[in-house]
Structure 1
Amino acid sequence: MSAPILTPLQPRHLPQALTLQAQVYPAFLVEPEPAFASRLDVAAPFNLAAERDGTLLAYLLAHGWTRESPPPVGAVLDRTTTGDTLYLHDLAVADVARGTGIGRMLVEAAFVDAVAAGITRAELIAVEGAGDYWRRLGFQPGAASPTLAATVAHYGPTARWMWRSL
């Protein structure tokens, strides 16, 4: 079996990425196609795919964004959006690739790209109990303003805002 290849997440990946997203996230967190596709155009170098033999094993949607102001679930992003922070919007790993370290590889590759672009901070909203996973990658929970807490609440009752320096 060949090793996975990391590549930029591109429009050609969209059908498989949407299927994978629907398999790993609850329905209220699944982004509609226009919202998902808009993330491919915002800070595209931070969006990554891991594939083997033409099959998408995992993807990372990550884009530049303004600190402590994550976009709402399902929002279509303006392609001209930039920011001072690497926002990790979505990491999805297929069941067959879980436990292989492929998610960590995608995240670390995005960190390298972000640092090269001058970004020194990363943020995310940990959903569905994933906080421990993100802690192992150096993220820590942060105090949230009332506005940020309201946005995080839309990501589910166990959602937590987290950040780390790069």
Structure 2
Amino acid sequence: MSPFICRAMQLRDLADVIRIQSEAYVDEILETDEVITQRFIQTADTSWVVERRGEVCGYLVGYYTNLGEVSPWGCEFSHKPSADTFYMHDLAISRAAVGYGLGPFIVKHALAQVPHDALTHAALVSVQNSKGFWEKLGFVTFENLMQAQRQHLATYAGPAFYMVKSLQV
């Protein structure tokens, strides 16, 4: 039995989320504590942590939106009422927990929680050379972004790719 569990993120977890973000991301894409807190308030139902013996080791924050819509880096977001896509905005694992397969573990958990009858896709922006990781989970690069969405994608430092996966069986 694995010592790791996934559970809903709580307000008390935000200090750990902020710490893990600073471990996992380069400075150019670190988001402010205020933005992280506001996003959690807006999307607590699609925010999870993975923990081991009460210690938060990673997190995933997402929201409901529409296919082909990219959140600009550093902006707040909330669920869209007519959403067809679960957008995974932020996934990070603490340095101490790297190598345990927690990235795929929390993604699988999150995808099992979203309403597949209403949502047809999952999407994300791949950063920091994570494209191969997402491809192993079945995501592919989505090339048909509108110009405004390509501009949003360009707000991310380094090579960034908008990637999608069908949720339909």
> Could you say whether these structures have the same fold, taking a TM-score greater than 0.5 normalized by the shorter chain as the test?
yes
Deviations 1:59-102 (A, max 9, x none): 00111122211221221234x64422100001101122112111
Q: Answer whether contact 1:114 1:120 (CA < 8 A) is retained.
A: no
Let me know the Cα RMSD of the aligned residues: 1.7
- Give the Cα–Cα distance (whole angstroms) in 2 for the partners of residues 148 and 62 of structure 1: 18
Amino acid at match of 2:104: R
Residue 9, structure 1, aligned to residue 9, structure 2: yes
Amino acid at match of 2:120: T
Q: Answer whether contact 2:8 2:49 (CA < 8 A) is retained.
A: yes
What's the counterpart of residue 140 of structure 2?
Answer: 140
Residue 164, structure 1, aligned to residue 169, structure 2: no
What's the counterpart of residue 114 of structure 1?
Answer: 114
- Give the Cα–Cα distance (whole angstroms) in 2 for the partners of residues 162 and 66 of structure 1: 13
C-alpha deviation, 1:6, in angstroms: 1.0
What's the counterpart of residue 66 of structure 2?
Answer: 66
C-alpha deviation, 1:53, in angstroms: 2.5
Amino acid at match of 1:11: L
Q: How many residues are aligned here?
A: 164
Q: Describe the shift of the 1:117–1:48 C-alpha distance in structure 2 as closer, same or farther (beyond 3 A).
A: farther
Larger deviation: 38-47 or 117-126?
38-47
C-alpha deviation, 1:40, in angstroms: 1.6
SS of the aligned residue for 2:114 comes to: helix
Q: Answer whether contact 1:123 1:162 (CA < 8 A) is retained.
A: yes
Gaps of 5+ in 2: none
Deviations 1:34-58 (A, max 9, x none): 2111222334332110112222101
Identity of aligned residues (%): 27
- Give the Cα–Cα distance (whole angstroms) in 2 for the partners of residues 87 and 163 of structure 1: 9
Gaps of 5+ in 1: none
Q: Answer whether contact 2:87 2:123 (CA < 8 A) is retained.
A: yes
- Give the Cα–Cα distance (whole angstroms) in 2 for the partners of residues 69 and 116 of structure 1: 19
What TM-score, normalized to structure 2?
0.89
C-alpha deviation, 1:116, in angstroms: 4.8
What TM-score, normalized to structure 1?
0.90
What's the counterpart of residue 149 of structure 1?
Answer: 150
